[in-house]
Amino acid sequence: MEVVSLFYQNFLSSLLRLPRARVSLMMSLAAIVVLLGTMFGIFAYKSALTRSGASEGALMVPSFLNAIQILIFGLVYKNLAEVMTEFENHRTVHEHHTELFKKLAFFYFINNYTTLFYIAFIKGGVEGCYEPLHNSEFCGYELSVQVAVVFFVNDFLARFVNSSVLPSVNRYLATRRAENDSTMKAANMGLIENQFRTLAKYDPTVELVMDYIELYIQWGFLVLFGAACPVVVSFACFTNFVETRTDGIKLLKDYRRVLPFRVDGVGGTLNVFYYTLYIAVPVNAGLIVYSFGSLRFLPETAYVWSFVALIFAMFFALHVLDVIYPELPQRTAIQLERQRVVYERLVLCTDDDDDNQLDLDVSMIGLTVSEVRKKRSDSIEAHKAPMTRTEYKAGEVPLSYKTKGA
């Protein structure tokens, strides 16, 4: 029966979900096609305004249209992604979180950053970047304005509305519905009934993933195009500070109490953040060389080599920062290794002579393999002769006592 269960979990369940996954993929591709078509229309409208010699205020209209388009498509695809992930019927909560986050991260990446990539690297070769208002042959100014507008609308305003305004409005509407309900008296409601009827239900799956998506969108703006508009860093700091307070108020006053349950993590969130960071390296190098023309004093033949040199320099800087500020502190890593040793010894009851267990002893004690083996041989010899009371008081306990008595 155990073999059959493993066969179902590892192969048959995936095979049964395959047709549903294909349907979900086709729906996501259709949404992306509609999104790209809408963006192309906004690009064409702005190009027409530029050719007609419109004023600077009129040229800002396509930027706000792009910000509104990002908001609308983000809300629509969020609901669509939830339905598709439920339709795929994943086996565990971890798999559900991972697939939902992947769908949202991929779509939001295209939705939020496609316009910025076009302005930074494609527009100059297609329609040119010359702006009569600022006498510039590079798209750096237009990119800075676009980043500022899109970031302010979609990160600052949208997150403030989602964390502060919408929960309060939903609670007010629920309270009014309870007061106007003729089947009961709102004044006689107890505390539990009042919370049940006026507070919204917190979905730990969707709400948690969307919190990570908000952080991912902000992270993408900062690492990909933060150099184009450094003021967004200040907006990000202020937004994060405010949201740490508003999220606490939201969970305490606007939602019902969350029922805790154990999961193995939110999914592949951290890997997506790392992938975006690796993409940001060539993007920032391209911004320096091509979008802002910072190396215009060099001949055009040297642009490519400068671009490659900047990429290697940035990757080297990332490696140095990773060494200086490791993801996991050394003390935390040691404590995790110790917990793993205790689990192996006390719960799984592994053998002391196992080579894998020997490696665990090395990580826990901090000695080399030869030193651990020598101490073990000494402990075996010590077992042959009983310890004296003086040795025991002096702390000369054999190694086997130390490890087994953890």
Beta bridge mates, 136 = 131
Find, among 345, 359, 355, the residue nearest to 401 by Cα: 345
Assess whether 197 and 230 both reside in one domain. Answer: yes
**Which range is least confidently modeled, 9-23, 97-111, 303-317?**
9-23
pLDDT at 10 over 70: no
Q: How far apart are CA 168 and CA 374, in angstroms?
A: 67
pLDDT of amino acid 5: 54
- For residue 265, the 8-state DSSP code is -
DSSP class of residue 60 equals T
Please tell me whether residues 93 and 234 are part of one structural domain.
yes
- Alpha-carbon distances, residue 345 vs 239, 349, 360, 380, 406 (angstroms): 47, 5, 10, 19, 9
Whole-angstrom Cα distance, residue 55 to residue 273? 39
Mean pLDDT for 275-284 is 90
Length of the chain, in residues: 406
Final residue of a structural domain among 327, 345, 371: 327
Tell me the CA distances in angstroms from 251 to 130, 163, 197, 203, 265, one per residue in order.
50, 10, 16, 11, 20
Query: pLDDT grade, residue 107 (50/70/90)?
Result: very high
pLDDT of residue 257: 77
Instruction: Please indicate, yes or no, whether residues 239 and 304 belong to a single structural domain of this protein.
Output: no
Phi, psi at 266, each rounded to 5°:
-80, -15
**Is 112 found in the same domain as 6?**
yes
175 and 56 both lie in a single domain: yes
Same domain as 76, residue 39: yes
pLDDT score of 313: 92
More confident site: 262 or 19: 19
Share of the chain above pLDDT 70, in %: 75
Same domain for 243 and 379? Answer: no
pLDDT of residue 137: 62
What's the pLDDT band for 382 if we cut at 50, 70, 90?
low
Question: Do 182 and 316 belong together in one domain?
Answer: no
Same domain for 16 and 141?
A: yes
Name the amino acid, one letter, at 122.
I
Distance CA 297, CA 22 (A): 52
With H, G, I as helix, E, B as strand and everything else as coil, classify residue 203.
coil
pLDDT at 71: 86
CA–CA gap between residue 141 and residue 139 (Å, rounded): 6
What three-state secondary structure class fits 73?
helix
At 402 the pLDDT is 41
- Tell me which of 294, 310, 341 is where a domain ends: 294
Instruction: Say yes or no: 234 and 338 in one domain.
Output: no
**Which H or E element spans position 326?**
none
Whether the pLDDT of residue 403 is over 50: the answer is no
| pLDDT tens string 171-216 | 788 777 777 777 777 667 777 777 777 787 777 777 778 888 888 8
Identify whether the C-beta of residue 154 lies closer than 8 Å to the C-beta of residue 73: no
Mean pLDDT of 7-33: 75
How far is CA 360 from each of CA 224, 343, 354, 369, rounded to the nearest angstrom? 41, 11, 10, 10
The answer to whether residues 32 and 175 belong to one domain is: yes
Separation of alpha carbons 293 and 56, rounded Å: 22
Q: Which of 175, 212, 198, 174 has the alpha carbon at shortest distance from 256?
A: 198
| CB of 23 closer than 8 Å to CB of 92 | no
Indicate if the alpha-carbon torsion angle 221, 223, 224, 225 is positive or negative: positive
Identify the domain boundary among 243, 276, 294.
Answer: 294
pLDDT tens track for 340-358: 777 777 766 665 555 545 4
As for how many domains the chain has, the answer is 3
Domain that holds residue 175: 2-294
Strand, helix or coil at 136? Answer: strand
Per residue in 26-38, pLDDT (tens digit) is 998 999 999 999 9
pTM, entire model = 0.72
For residue 92, report the phi and psi dihedrals to the nearest 5 degrees.
-125, 165
Lowest mean pLDDT among 3-12, 68-77, 337-346: 3-12
Number of helices (H) and strands (E) in the chain: give both, helices first: 19, 0
* Range with the poorest average pLDDT among 10-19, 40-49, 88-97, 384-393: 384-393
Are residues 13 and 65 both part of a single domain? Answer: yes
- In whole angstroms, what is the distance from residue 385 CA to residue 382 CA? 6
User: How far apart, in whole angstroms, are the C-alpha atoms of residue 60 and residue 149?
Assistant: 9
The mean-pLDDT minimum among 143-152, 215-224, 364-373, 382-391 falls in: 382-391
Rounded CA gap, 240 and 282, in Å?
27
Q: Is the pLDDT of residue 397 over 50?
A: no
